[in-house]
Amino acid sequence: MRNNLPVIAFFFTSFLLLTSCYNVPPTGIPAVSEVDTMIRQCFQTACKEWMAECHWYCDSIKGAMSLKLSLLVKLSQRSFSVHAPCTSSTTHYIDYSFSNGVIKSSLPTIDYHCHRFIENLNTDLRDLNIIKKKIYSIRGDLMNCFDKTDVRLVPIGSAANLLLNNRSDLDLVMRKKPKYFEKKGIIGLPPVKRFKTMEGFHEAVFGKFANTYNQLRSKRVGNVDYPYFNARIPIIRIFSKRKLQVDIQFGNIEPIRSSLFVRTCVEYDERVALLIHWLTNKFLESKILKSSDNLFSRYHVNMLVIHFLQAMPYPVLPDIISLSPWLSKNNDWNNAVKVLTRQGSLYVPSNSDAPNENSVGELVIQMIDYYSQIDFRKMGIDTRGRVFNKTINCNATFQLVDDYFDVSSTCRVQESPQFLTRLFEKLKLAVKEDNYQKLSHYSCMLILRRLFSRMSLLQPPEAVRGMTKLDKEAFRVTVDLPVIEIHSSDLGVVTRRVRLETFLIGHKLRPLKNTMDSENEGKKYLVFNPEKVKENDIKEKIGTLIQREIDDGQPVNWTTISKDLTFENWDAKTIFKAILPVGIEYSSYTQTGHIIHCNFADEILPFRHIIAEVLLNKVKNCKTVVQKGNIITNVYRNLDLELLAGEENYETEIKESGLRFKMDFSKVYWNSRLSHEHERVAGLFNNQSIVYDACCGIGPFVLPATLKKKPRRVMANDLNPESVKWLKVNVALNKIKDDRIEIHNMDAKQFIKENIANDVIRLMKEESGSEDFDENKVESEIHVVMNLPAYAVNFLPAFRGALKKFETELKEINKKWKWNVYCYLFAKSQVDVPDEWYEEEARRMCDEKTKWDKSLVVNCHNVRTVSSRKEMFCVQLELPYEYLLAEPLPEEAEVPFEPEELYMYVRCLSLIPTPCCSSTIRGNATLPSLNLYSFRRRIAERLSNKYNEKRVHEIGPDLACLEWLMECGSTSVRMSDGQIITRQREMREYIPHALAEKPSMENAPAIQTGDISYEKQWPNAPYTWIVDVDASDSAIANEGFTYLRDVRRIEKLKFNFCDYFGDEGLKFLAQGRPAQTLTDLEIVLNPCITDGAVYWLLKMKALRRAHFYFLPYVAHRQGFIRQLKIALPRCNVTFPEVDTIGFGYEDAKKTKRK
């Protein structure tokens, strides 16, 4: 910090000089001058790292101030008027325009380059927005309280979620009310807010609890008593295994729903949070934001912003409640959690320096203009953007209607119309007077505070950001730690009696501790956190408390000692935060014995090796770090592993449920997240159970069942010989006799039809013929477990007719046993659906395979959420003997693939929904079979679509992408220098030429992209890039789209007759730079694009033209178009009907005539 003081002082003085000389807002950019040049040179030499992050360093914009006056004239002429709400059934936007009747399209063109306030306000709000950072921080702190396998934190509505449907992922245990506190008359557990005794509570409220009473008593939640009757609101207090408290209050349901609505708006578009942050500051400055004094609350600020954005003539926010099924009053919100954790903002700001009419700064001006014309005494507003005449005859109240609170007003602030009118009149005056300092209120000290907040003393140096190869020495930083020297004999007294834990350095920087040896004999240092004891008054209070306990007559003196913090002091989470780009976090990995296996998002892939090195150094007992493949690549379910760090030793040992399991992690399948499921299923057995595991793996089901439940018969099978080998090893390792478990190595269908059927008949005949047969003893039951979620549902037809050949023997058996089958499967959706859909889909999948006249499913247990839109279920079926004796189903045609390709085929098949159009029309467009598509796509991915990361770093993303496109047979590629490449020979000649013309960094021109981080990430990339691609009739496949993710400024893509890529390819476009630059997209005749593609298309906010034609597996064409037009109002979307042009046209006309 001391080293930075001269730079900060110089910056502060220079900044004040600039603002006084040019009379511009603190965040504005002055015209180029001598002082400007001097400041710029200072930045380049002393603050180079800051330049990469801060937007407000000076640019060469000549003549900006000279055009400022004309801009203000245009802004002052803008006067919007509020008319009656629109009565259209399709939209609820307020139609407001210029008071002189001129439509919005005739708005005078504003030269945004000449006025940087809007742009800078946008960026300032983005930088100052602490909402997202706080969420990450709090979530991280909470996760430290839990074992990650115990609980998944639900960001909002967890209590009500548990109440309404009992599907919460929180594994909670109810604490009973102690008798001691009952005698004392205390409600609940201490400390608890005491409620005044009331005669009772509302019948409807209590009814909600009564309806879920039995659910709350289930094993998942634990023991539950009725709510405390002497409380005003019935309270249920729940504690997690780690003692995290959750209070359920029935009166909170409406506020929680409203909070979820706000959260959805914030997640839908990041500008919502930025505008809320700005308006909150304005309310605070006006001293009208304090609900404890009967003034406005933050809820009112949120609703004012949301109303304005939904009242815009163009849909900044559409009708969120209608578009978001989880916001329905009848929904249990479970799906909302999954949607909100992955959705992200649909608004993608442009990389260019010029803001547009949708930027946050422009929206601020429009919001001031909008609310300054509403008469809050006579008019009310709601949360859907509608304005209406007040129903309350009181000029002193402002009517704000929230859908979740019926029709009553949620604003009870007295004199609220006057407060709001004065506020927006003052802001309107600031716009007219060009007083942007009052409007933005971003002073130099605020910017400096922002810099100080980024420059934490107890963080690794900023120079390690972007590091891809571990250099431990680069993490060294010297800090001055405040300390107090006390006698060693007094140390115990001080630490016991004075609560200093909040201010001490703590254990995060191990091996650094709260105490250190002093140079003076017999004395110790108490080491404090320099970020928490900055203020003198805090130091005085701490000194007073210590002095009072020691009482030796000597004053407490504060001193500082210098300490080097090195790589050893930082934990893994802090190091990841330091090296990864701002806004990107990583913490997800799973440890199996000494092996850590990781999953990396696309943006983290370049840092995977350094992350692996850090984990190897920081995680206890870690010797090997591997990266899991995207999917399980073969029928044996072993993972495609990439060794990232450590030794190549995949044989490991773990403990689960008190048992030891050995395995070769590279050759068998193991998932530690299923430990609770293994226990749950094993708990369903008893000593008379007959247990068959058709896909046993290394024994996670059969071993605990054998040892703990001692079933009558256990038989295990797996197709993978390695799994069978390690199962036998684990049987011996856990001292289980060999004859307790019969082990087989065969296909599951064969195991069901032959081994299980023969064994069941043999056992039932033995029991029936036994002399000591007792009808009153516990009846045996058959349990068949099939834990192969990717394919197990295809084994269900094997049960039909499995006992057909034993029909005669069954007639002689006195008592037949009940058949229970536990089938694991994945239910996956391509679009956002209600939470109930996944369970219905799981049941449908089983019913489709059993093909019986009634459903055989008796229970559907949600095991876990695999990813967004993908759930894992355990479906329990009871098979009647009529089904087991029925005629077997005809064998389905086997897929002509190699065995290791089987899983790939099943995965592709499960993603294809039913076509949308009638078979009559669709049949005329003859499509190749799915087998042929899969076969051709597999060839294309293996031959020409493999991503070569090394090549990308050698020549840059654009040239590597050019190579890929031409090798796949693209028609043409136009480069930024005007060169058009149409053949591979031209491509091979062009690449060396482009690389040779790249100037050295010393002679390089100004960065053309305006993106410093891009140049740092791709130093070998030449100053030429792909602009236009026509990839029609080429062999591009999903994996190859990784090349497009980092191209610099692609503007147009044409994918006509490209049938090897699908939604996954568009995902790479939406998650990369094309989402910000692509303006024209065309996709024609692609059988792999589904309804799910719209989710990724919505993120491409730069699109101005999108043309689609003949996408046979887009099942809801109208909804597809509607979502695109709502999210991309400036994009021309065309998607003609298949039966009006092209394929099927003539037959469609004949059908209509008939």
Comparing CA positions, the residue from 583, 736, 592 lying closest to residue 669 is 592
Query: How far apart (Å, rounded) are the C-alpha atoms in residues 997 and 1021?
Result: 11
Task: Report the relative pairing of strands 713-717 and 742-744 from DSSP bridges.
Answer: parallel
Fold of 575-646: GMP Synthetase; Chain A, domain 3 (3.30.300)
C-alpha of 384 from chain center: 26
Which residue do the tokens 């954790």 mark? 341
On the question of pLDDT at 801 being above 50, the answer is: yes
Cβ atoms of residues 351 and 271 within 8 Å:
no
Q: Count CB atoms within 10 A of the CB of residue 764.
A: 22
DSSP 1009-1054: SS-HHHHHH-TT--S--EEEEE-TT----GGGGGGGGG-S---EEE
What per-residue confidence (pLDDT) applies to 329? 62
DSSP 264-319: HHHHH-HHHHHHHHHHHHHHHHTT-B-GGGTSB-HHHHHHHHHHHHHSSSS-SS--
Kindly calculate the radius of gyration of the chain based on its CA atoms and give it in whole angstroms: 34
* More confident site: 999 or 64: 999
Query: How far apart (Å, rounded) are the C-alpha atoms in residues 1140 and 1133?
Result: 17
Which tokens go with 956? 């840059």
DSSP 685-753: --TT-EEEETT-TTSTTHHHIIIII--SEEEEE-S-HHHHHHHHHHHHHTT--GGGSEEE-S-HHHIII
What per-residue confidence (pLDDT) applies to 1142? 38
What per-residue confidence (pLDDT) applies to 672? 82
Q: Count CB atoms within 10 A of the CB of residue 141.
A: 9
Q: Return the CATH superfamily for domain 654-767+779-885.
A: Vaccinia Virus protein VP39 (3.40.50.150)
Mean pLDDT, residues 1049-1064: 87
| Beta strand extents in 649-689 (DSSP E only) | 651-656, 659-664
**Could you give the 3-state DSSP secondary structure of residue 58?**
coil
Mean pLDDT, residues 888-892: 75
The answer, as to whether pTM is greater than 0.75, is no
Which tokens go with 1057? 């007759």
Any idea what DSSP says for residue 177? Answer: P
Domains 108-118+121-126+271-314+353-440 and 654-767+779-885 in one fold: no
Q: Considering only 333-337, 779-783, 857-861, 1103-1107, which range has the smallest mean pLDDT?
A: 333-337
Q: Count CB atoms within 10 A of the CB of residue 991.
A: 18
What per-residue confidence (pLDDT) applies to 942? 54
Beta bridge partners of residue 94, listed in sequence order: 85
What per-residue confidence (pLDDT) applies to 408? 62
What per-residue confidence (pLDDT) applies to 798? 92
What per-residue confidence (pLDDT) applies to 311? 80
What per-residue confidence (pLDDT) applies to 314? 59
CA atoms within 13 Å, Cβ hemisphere of 476 = 7
What per-residue confidence (pLDDT) applies to 328? 67
Any idea what DSSP says for residue 534? Answer: -
Q: Count CB atoms within 10 A of the CB of residue 432.
A: 10
Cβ atoms of residues 1037 and 941 within 8 Å:
yes
**Could you give the 3-state DSSP secondary structure of residue 1077?**
helix
Which residue do the tokens 């199962």 mark? 727
For the chain, which residues make up each domain, given as ranges? 108-118+121-126+271-314+353-440, 129-178+202-251, 477-565, 575-646, 654-767+779-885, 932-996+1016-1134
pLDDT tens, residue by residue, 166-224: 333 333 333 333 443 344 343 333 333 333 333 333 333 344 444 444 443 443 333 33
Task: Judge: domain 129-178+202-251, CATH 3.30.460.10.
Answer: yes
What per-residue confidence (pLDDT) applies to 653? 92
Which tokens go with 779? 């009846």
Query: How far apart (Å, rounded) are the C-alpha atoms in residues 215 and 172?
Result: 13
Q: Considering only 451-455, 783-787, 872-876, 965-969, which range has the smallest mean pLDDT?
A: 451-455
Instruction: Tell me the average pLDDT of the chain.
Output: 68
- For the domain covering 477-565, report its CATH number: 3.30.70
Residue 704: pLDDT band (50, 70, 90) is very high
pLDDT tens, residue by residue, 28-71: 322 333 333 433 443 343 333 333 332 222 232 223 333 333 33
Mean pLDDT, residues 669-683: 87
Which tokens go with 757? 């059927």
Mean pLDDT, residues 603-608: 83
What per-residue confidence (pLDDT) applies to 179? 42
Q: Considering only 411-420, 709-718, 726-735, 939-948, which range has the smallest mean pLDDT?
A: 939-948
- Which of 3.40.50.920, 3.40.50.2300, 3.40.1390.30, 3.80.10.10 would CATH assign to domain 932-996+1016-1134? 3.80.10.10
Query: How far apart (Å, rounded) are the C-alpha atoms in residues 986 and 988?
Result: 6
Residue 1080: pLDDT band (50, 70, 90) is very high
Query: How far apart (Å, rounded) are the C-alpha atoms in residues 669 and 663?
Result: 9
Fold of 108-118+121-126+271-314+353-440: Poly(a)-polymerase, middle domain (1.10.1410)
On the question of pLDDT at 136 being above 60, the answer is: no
Query: How far apart (Å, rounded) are the C-alpha atoms in residues 970 and 212?
Result: 60
Mean pLDDT, residues 862-870: 83
pLDDT tens, residue by residue, 80-118: 222 222 222 222 222 222 222 322 333 333 333 333 444
